[in-house]
Amino acid sequence: MALALCLRALCSLGGWLSLYGSFCRLNKHRSYEWNCRLVTFTHGILSIGLSAYIGFIDGPWPFTHPGSPNTPLQVHVLCLTLGYFIFDLGWCIYFRSEGPLMLAHHTLSILGIVVALVLGESGTEVNAVLFGSEITNPLLQMRWFLRETGHYHSFTGDVVDFLFVALFTGVRIGVGACLLFCEMVSPTPKWFVKIGGVAMYVVSWCFMFSIWRFAWRKSIKKYHTWRSRWSEEWQLRLNGHLKTH
Q: Which of 33-37, 133-137, 164-168, 223-227 has the lowest mean pLDDT?
A: 223-227
Residue type, 66: P
Mean pLDDT of the chain: 90
Say whether pLDDT at 241 is over 70: no
| Tens-digit pLDDT profile for residues 26-59 | 999 999 999 999 999 999 999 999 999 999 999 8
Of the two residues 2 and 228, the one the predictor is more confident about is 2
How crowded is residue 147: how many other Cβ atoms within 10 Å of its Cβ? 12
One-letter amino acid for residue 35 of the chain = N
Instruction: Determine the 3-state secondary structure of 189 from DSSP.
Output: coil
Handedness of CA 195, 200, 204, 206 (dihedral sign): positive
By the 10 Å C-beta count (0-12 exposed, 13-18 middle, 19+ buried), 98 is classed as middle
Q: What is the pLDDT of residue 221?
A: 78
* Nearest-angstrom CA–CA distance, 235 and 206: 44
CA distances from 123 to 62, 94, 127 (A): 9, 30, 6
- 175: pLDDT strictly greater than 70: yes
SS3 per residue for 118-173: HHCECHHHHHHHHHHHHCCHHHHHHHHHHHHCCCCCCHHHHHHHHHHHHHHHHHHH
Has residue 245 got a pLDDT over 60? no
108: pLDDT strictly greater than 70: yes
Would the pTM of this model clear 0.85, i.e. be above it? yes
